[in-house]
Structures are given as structure tokens and as C-alpha cells.
Amino acid sequence: MISLADVEAAAARIAGRVLRTPSVPSDAVSRATGIDTVLKLDNLQVVGAFKERGAANRLALLTEAERARGVIAMSAGNHAQAVARHASLLGIAATIVMPSFTPATKITRTAAWGADVVLHGETLAEAAAHAVHLAETRQLVSIHPYNDPAVIAGQGTLALELLADASDLDTLVIPVGGGGLLAGCLVAATALRPGIAIFGVEVETYAAMAQHIAGRAVSVGGPTIAEGIAVRDIGEIPLEIVRRRVTDILVVPERAVEEAIGLLAEGAKTVAEGAGAVGVAALLTFPSRFKGKRVGVAITGGNIDARILSNVLLRNLLRDGRLLRLHLQIPDRPGVLADIAGKIGETGGNIIEVSHQRLFAAASVQAAELEVMVEARDSAHADTIVTALERSYVVRRI
């Protein structure tokens, strides 16, 4: 099994190749959750994710013969970029197999490091099977994203740095995909701080680790913004470590992940992808589990498509009441639109978009339907805008 000495050796091996990312107290997350929070910002790595740690350590241990053969890896993006980058730095040919649903930004960045990118399969499991096939037929060295002792030891360096920067932490919260990061952090943290609580976090559509720990049959699948941890097959090596040492595995809903991305972007001024934000989602979902504790949360990745980030932020604005979609039944006569705009303006609302239908949508030829998108300061301000309009019109919030 992997020991603290293995993690410390990995830290020495990757020093200078992988960034030592900051651990920063987050007032925004602490105020939003009521929990004293320190964020470990591994989204600031060169490839935007913690995966550089394990990849750099594993590749550094290759023999000359293995380097000459070339390497292959399977990943939804972050492990792919990490292997591609460090293979490039070492002059090693790399083939990366990625599922077809992988975000475009991860595909583009992986290819930019000179890797041969192969898109195959609708799931990580299908991509993994194809990677095994290519490794056998082309005699490539497989760099597994999580079921590899050297990769796990490399990932554990995150906990070494976090506890060195914030030695008074009571609890760590670590995202879980295949389990490599959680396992490495468990090895390091429990050796350095016996008794520290360590929680893994999964998204509800892919809660394979939680199901394993509970002794249930694994059933996963479905769309998720946390595609980086959308894993069906947990690694055998990580699973054995996690079974013996983890405090608990928490499962968070999709909406909490979106809220966490928004909180980190607006409040903590840091960009996180879905998989990288699930730790904060756990604080939002289970605040009572962390009450009175000082908690270190790993922000494990920041590779999120700009379009997806934009959509998430807009969805959060709608949920918070800072963006209103209003449907109004109005009389079809001159001056009504001006009156509505005036009422919104008088209450301090900002009209973003207007859709006016008079010919087909309204029930009567004497009526019209209006949809208005309005920006408000907060939910209370949104209620004020709606109340002002309801004095004269039938209003429905969409």
C-alpha cells in the first residue's frame, strides 16, 4: 500500500514541474455557508487541474525503454491534459482517448500539448476499454488516471501542501471521481494529522464510491456538469484505501454544483469547473456536518467551457431573483409598453430583453402578451418590481 513516504517522495520528484498552488481563506464561501473555509486552488495549475501531480510523478518514474514506446491515457479531460503536458516536456509521444462528450476546451488544450487525441465512446467506461485495446495493439505504456500507486502518491501532494499552509484544519473535503485524489490525500493527511476528518464528494448521478462503501450495487449515469468525476468504475487501489480511512462520502445534487460554481466565480473570484466545485457544493448542501470546524476544500479544476459557465451564472441569477422573466397579459393599445417600462424603471429595474406578441399568442384580438427580462439587485428588489407591475397588469414569473 501507499505510505506517507511515497507521497513525500512524489513531492520531491515533482517539485519545479508542478505548481505549489495557494491555500487561501475564503470569506465569501465562509459567509455563504457559515463554515470557516480554506480553499486549495489547484485550478491554478498550468493545465487547470490537480491531475498534473499524479501524471508528473508517474511519468518521471518511466524507464528509458518505456519512454521510447510512448504512453496512452484515458480521461474526460484533466488527466488527459496533464499526461499530454508532462509527456511533451519529457519528449514522450502521448495518445489520449477521450469520451465523445468531453468539453471542447479540454479537447483543444490536450491536442495543443502535441498529443494524439482519439474521441471514442459515450461514457468513460467505453473510452477506457478502447484505451486498453490501443495500449495492447500499439504496445503503449498505460498511464491510468487513478488506479496506479505512483499517480495516487502524486495526487496526495495536494494534502501535504494544504496542511503545511493551514495546519489548524479540522476537516478536508475532496472531490471523488475514480478515487485517486481522495486516496492520496487520505494517506498523507491521516499520517500527518491522525483524527482529521476527511470527506469525499460525488455528484448524485455518479455516486459510485458512495455505493461501493455502502455495499450497494453500482448504478450511475445521466447528464452532469461535473463530467470530470462522472466515473462508473472506481479503482481497486483507491477503494481499498478509502474504505479504511474515509470519514464519509457525501453526494450532492446538480443544482448545488451550479450554485457552487457561481459562488466561487462571484464571491471567491475563482473559476471552477463542475468537478472542481463539488467540495463547495458539499458545504452548501450539508452545512451541519461541518458546523464549528475549520475546513479545507480542494478546488480541483477550472476547465469549464465559457458557454457553460455563462449559462450556469445566468441560471443562478434567475434562481436568486436577480434576473426576472416576466409574462404579462396587457391591453393592446398605445402607451402600454411605455407604461410598463416606466414602472420598471421607477423601481430601479433594468430591462434586458422584450418580446411582444399581439397577432397569435393573446386570447383576444384586443389583448397582447409580453415577456420581459429584467435585472434586479436581489430577490427583495425583484419582488418590489413585480408588485409595482401587478397593480396594473396580470403578471406571471417564469
Here the CATH number for the domain that contains residue 342 is 3.30.70.260
Based on the fold, state whether residues 288 and 160 are members of the same structural domain.
Answer: yes
Chosen domain end from 247, 280, 315:
315
CATH code at position 114: 3.40.50.1100
Distance CA 182, CA 156 (A): 8
Based on the fold, state whether residues 222 and 330 are members of the same structural domain.
Answer: no
Specify whether the CB–CB gap between 23 and 166 falls below 8 A. yes
Based on the fold, state whether residues 156 and 289 are members of the same structural domain.
Answer: yes
Instruction: Specify the number of domains making up the chain.
Output: 3
Considering only CA atoms, which of 148, 183, 180, 18 is closest in space to residue 71?
148
β 323-331/394-397 pair status: antiparallel
Chosen domain end from 95, 116, 145:
145
Based on the fold, state whether residues 60 and 96 are members of the same structural domain.
Answer: yes
Look at residue 125 in the predicted model and tell me its pLDDT.
81
Tell the burial category of 8 from Cβ atoms under 10 Å away from its Cβ (0-12, 13-18, 19+): middle
Look at residue 1 in the predicted model and tell me its pLDDT.
82
Look at residue 275 in the predicted model and tell me its pLDDT.
96
Strand partners, 23: 40
Considering only CA atoms, which of 278, 83, 56 is closest in space to residue 177?
278
Based on the fold, state whether residues 81 and 43 are members of the same structural domain.
Answer: no
Based on the fold, state whether residues 76 and 134 are members of the same structural domain.
Answer: yes
Where on the phi/psi map is residue 122: left (φ > 0), alpha (ψ -120 to 50), or beta? Answer: alpha
Based on the fold, state whether residues 247 and 111 are members of the same structural domain.
Answer: no
Based on the fold, state whether residues 307 and 326 are members of the same structural domain.
Answer: no
pTM above threshold 0.85: yes
Cell of 16: 519545479
Task: Residue 138: give the domain boundaries.
Answer: 52-145
Look at residue 365 in the predicted model and tell me its pLDDT.
61
Amino acid at 391: R
Look at residue 329 in the predicted model and tell me its pLDDT.
87
Amino acid at 50: F
Based on the fold, state whether residues 281 and 163 are members of the same structural domain.
Answer: yes
Distance CA 202, CA 182 (A): 11
Chosen domain end from 315, 336, 351:
315
Based on the fold, state whether residues 166 and 82 are members of the same structural domain.
Answer: no
Based on the fold, state whether residues 36 and 163 are members of the same structural domain.
Answer: yes
pLDDT < 70: residue spans in the chain: 358-366
Considering only CA atoms, which of 16, 105, 91, 92 is closest in space to residue 53?
16
Look at residue 17 in the predicted model and tell me its pLDDT.
95
The DSSP symbol for 220 reads -
